Chain A
Amino acid sequence: MVLYNFKKITVVPSGKDFVDIILSRTQRQTPTVVHKGYAINRIRQFYMRKVKYTQSNFHEKISTILEDFPRLDDIHPFYGELLNHLYDKDHYKLALGQLNTARNLIEKISKDYVRLLKYGDSLYRCKQLKKAALGRMCTVMKRVSPSLAYLEQVRQHMSRLPSIDPNTRTILICGYPNVGKSSFINKITRADVDVQPYAFTTKSLFVGHTDYKYLRWQVIDTPGILDHPLEECNTIEMLSITALAYLRAAVLFVVDLSGSCGYSLAQQASLFHSIRPLFANKPLIIACNKTDLQPIETLPESDALLLQEMKREAAKAGAGLVDGAPPDEEGCLLTMSTMTEEGVIAVKNAACEKLLQQRVEVKMKSKKINDCLNRIHVAVPRQRDQKERPPCIPQAVLDAKVAEAKVLEKRKLEKDLENENGGAGVYSANLHKHYLLLDPDWKEDIMPEIMDGHNIADFIDADILQRLDELEREEEEAAATAQAADEDEDMSDQELTAEETEALLAIRRKKKQILEEHRLKKSTADNKPVMPRKHDHNRQFNTGRMGQHLSSLGLDPGAAVERIRSKSRLGRKRERSAGGGDDYAMDIDQQPTKKMRARSRSLSRPHTEALPGEGYKDSAQKMKAMKIAKKAVKQRNKDARKGEADRVHYNLKPKHLFSGKRGTGKTDRR
């Protein structure tokens, strides 16, 4: 089934735009640079290329347009007629013909000028030739521009035509203006056609789709037809007439019984009779609309007579369609009201059924049917005797069905309950009432989920009681055995006495103290010098303290204190010694020894004199040794000032900074 889709036609540019497009493309896509110094062949080639390129572009574009527009003779006659009525076949053909001629002309121009270019002897001459060629081509196009404009209009309108498949199942709705055709199509399909009280609201064909017996049906709404001869019909009416003429469809002739469309039944009847020849070979149904305003029973006599006549004619036409069936008068005339929606579906069904029958008949008569029939085979059991064997349904099932039907009628639905209790937002359904529990009293119970930091659902078990009993038994046994074995080992003999505990605590305290002091010392390391005695203004380092410390340790301080006191020179007068060699720095012991004397003697000599017991070779060596010793003891200067090790001569003019070119930038600053 080819669906006619006119939306794919390329846009037709106006004359000026056409020219602009082609010329700019030539400008962009061909080489642009040529000098008069080039070889003449090269210049000629350059310009020939331009001319040929322009011509080929024109050719291409015009060809696409010509191919995209449908040829009225090649398409389905329905569309051909439609397009004819809408756009005038002659004008259409003329426009396309003009475009074709333009194409040929352009080709000729290009051929001529290329021939001339072959003999161009200078750049200037070639350039002029090319200019002339392009200019002529553009003028040709400009002459054709009205056709182009017309074709663009046609294209735009065509793309908006409804896509009607002329070969599929179709229902055509026709009748006088304002009878209710558009309302009918709105009711049975999803089409949204304008419905207004004035005549000729529908100005073109509208398509809707509906379903019947699992098949898709096209429903076409037409503009109303007035009763005058064909020659006097305007474009809009011609649309419906074309549709009637060329589409193989079921025709639904809508009649307005009440006359509220503005035309009497007589006029409608006369229209019916005048377009009757168009209904040949088409299943016809007369639908009487607006029965809510004028029911068919109360129709006046004359109108009823007219209707009868129409019905007879319709039946006669219908008889010709299906062979063997008697003319069915009643099936032709149906009543409906699109306002109240009664009878609408019946009308649609009737129309669809009639068309279906006709189509099936046609298919049956065609040759292709045998292929279909060959594939279908219905197996029927062969009758072996005359016994009747009807289907057997047990009585219980039949009774149950009846009872169920009764229950369904009487049952109160949840929806009703909801509506009673305040509607959707207010009422919330009680889902608990359908629960199946052992005891129906439990239906409204709320089960606890959490207790004491546990999920209750994790504990639920059918035999929880039994397991709990086991647990308790275990517990009792464990308790009993625990009591039997429960006796603390008597460790009173290992306990420390009170004094020993005291000593232990003192030890711990002392350890802590030592640790703290060590940590302090460690953190300050070499930074904190030992306070020399001469700065001990508070006289903290005295014998009293020492004595206390010693006695706390359990020693007798008397001897130590005495010794110190005798040796210290604080508070003693300095006495010059007679010998002049006695150093008063030296404390006099109660029992001086000779050894000490010898030491003091050595101090009265020059300090560089190498004495025999000291181990020096000569005084020079001793001097050197003393010097080295002094140096080794020298304290490091921690004032953060430059020291001996810091007198380093750096490279004040490194070569890489004072020579060479830079990678980027200037070198006027170094």
Chain B
Amino acid sequence: MRLEKCWFCSSTVYPGHGIQFVRNDAKVFRFCRSKCHKNFKMKRNPRKVKWTKAYRKLHGKELTQDTTFEFERRRNRPERYNRDLVDQTLNAIKKIEEVREKRESKFWESRMKGKKSQERKEAAVELEQNIHLVKAPGAMVAEPGLTLPKQQVKMKVKVSMPKQQQIQAVQE
């Protein structure tokens, strides 16, 4: 019994899941679910499909080269059973996992490091360029800061002159 890797998305295929396709040149393709299988049939390149591990590794979104990956290697020659060795291996696997997880999270952090400053810069630029949407240029003259204008009280203006008088005023 072996856990295999899905050819398309590189997730583990547990026994009883997925489909295995054997091509005429004897190359075996394993898929974890029909999504990957259908994508394969559509001849999509996993390196171009965003959600696959292949894409992520290729585009540097995930840890690619690390010593923790070299522990897990497919060995073709089986070793003679040795209880102590298996014991050590089981403990080692746990530790290796921990180390790998830590390294991956550090990688992620270093990837996301410049984000905060980038965001701030963008916000400042946006604010400066688009302040006219919420604050009229006239108000900008009055208060030059990049903030919302203070709410003004609406003035009700009444026209008291009757029309007759207006016309007379015009004709004059």
Contacts and interface: CB of A to CB of B under 8 A. Distances in A.
Contacts of A424: none
B154 A551 contact: yes
B99 A475 contact: yes
A499 B102 contact: no
A482 interface: yes
Contacts of A465: 88, 92
B112 to A, nearest CB: 13
Interface stretch (A77-85, A248-256, A442-450): A442-450
B167 A575 contact: yes
Nearest to A494: B120
B152 A448 contact: no
A620 interface: no
Interface stretch (A125-133, A167-175, A565-573): A565-573
Interface string B124-154: 1011001101111011101101111111111
Contacts of B142: 554
Interface residues of B, number: 71
B157 A562 contact: yes
Sorted from nearest, which 10 A-B pairs have the closest CB atoms? Answer: A554-B139, A554-B149, A558-B155, A562-B157, A553-B136, A499-B147, A551-B152, A547-B154, A510-B133, A592-B170
Contacts of A565: 157-159
B157 A458 contact: no
A102 B130 CA distance: 123
B116 A491 contact: yes
Interface in A7-34: none
B90 interface: yes
Contact of B102 (A435, A475, A575): A475
**Residue from the set A435, A462, A468, A489 with the largest chain B CB neighbour count within 10 Å:** A468
Contacts of B85: 460, 462, 464
**Residue from the set A456, A458, A572 with the largest chain B CB neighbour count within 10 Å:** A458
18 contacts: A438-B80, A439-B83, A442-B82, A447-B81, A455-B3, A456-B86, A459-B71, A460-B86, A470-B67, A472-B99, A495-B120, A507-B127, A551-B154, A554-B135, A556-B152, A556-B155, A561-B154, A589-B170
A514 B143 CA distance: 25
Contacts of B90: 448, 451, 456
B121 A494 contact: yes
A453 interface: yes
A561 B154 CA distance: 10
B65 interface: no
Contact of A468 (B1, B92, B151, B153): B92
A496 interface: yes
B11 to A, nearest CB: 9
A494 B83 contact: no
A150 to B, nearest CB: 64
B146 A590 contact: no
Nearest to A566: B159
Given A455-B3, A468-B95, A556-B152, A504 B81 contact: no
A436 B169 CA distance: 124
B21 to A, nearest CB: 21
Interface residues of A, number: 74
A459 B169 contact: no
Nearest to A569: B163
A451 B87 CA distance: 12
Interface string B86-101: 1011101111110100
B166 interface: yes
A469 to B, nearest CB: 10
A492 to B, nearest CB: 10
Nearest to A457: B75
Contacts of A445: 81, 83
A465 B91 CA distance: 10
B46 to A, nearest CB: 20
Contacts of B78: 457
A63 interface: no
B164 interface: yes
Contacts of A389: none
Contacts of A489: 117
B74 interface: yes
B68 interface: yes
A143 interface: no
Interface of A: 435-439, 442, 445, 447-462, 464-465, 467-468, 470-472, 474-475, 482, 489, 491, 494-497, 499-500, 502-504, 506-508, 510-511, 514, 544, 547-548, 550-558, 561-562, 565-566, 572-573, 575, 577, 588-590, 592
B151 A588 contact: no
B120 A504 contact: no
**Residue from the set B82, B90, B150, B151 with the largest chain A CB neighbour count within 10 Å:** B82
Given A475-B99, A558-B155, A449 B146 contact: no
B92 A464 contact: yes
A398 B167 CA distance: 150
B16 to A, nearest CB: 13
Nearest to B98: A475
Contact of A472 (B95, B120, B151): B95
**Residue from the set B93, B116, B117 with the largest chain A CB neighbour count within 10 Å:** B93
A500 B135 CA distance: 12
**Residue from the set B106, B133, B143 with the largest chain A CB neighbour count within 10 Å:** B133
Contacts of A449: 1-2
Interface in B1-55: 1-3, 12
B127 A450 contact: no
B72 A500 contact: no
A562 B160 CA distance: 11
B166 to A, nearest CB: 5
A459 B92 contact: yes
Contact of A459 (B67, B89, B170): B89
A462 B127 CA distance: 62
A462 B92 CA distance: 12
Contacts of B156: 561
B131 to A, nearest CB: 7
A30 B149 CA distance: 118
**Residue from the set B120, B139, B155, B157 with the largest chain A CB neighbour count within 10 Å:** B157
B157 A504 contact: no
Contacts of B145: 499
A458 B127 contact: no
Given A475-B102, A499-B147, A500-B127, A491 B2 contact: no
A435 B80 CA distance: 10
Nearest to B73: A458
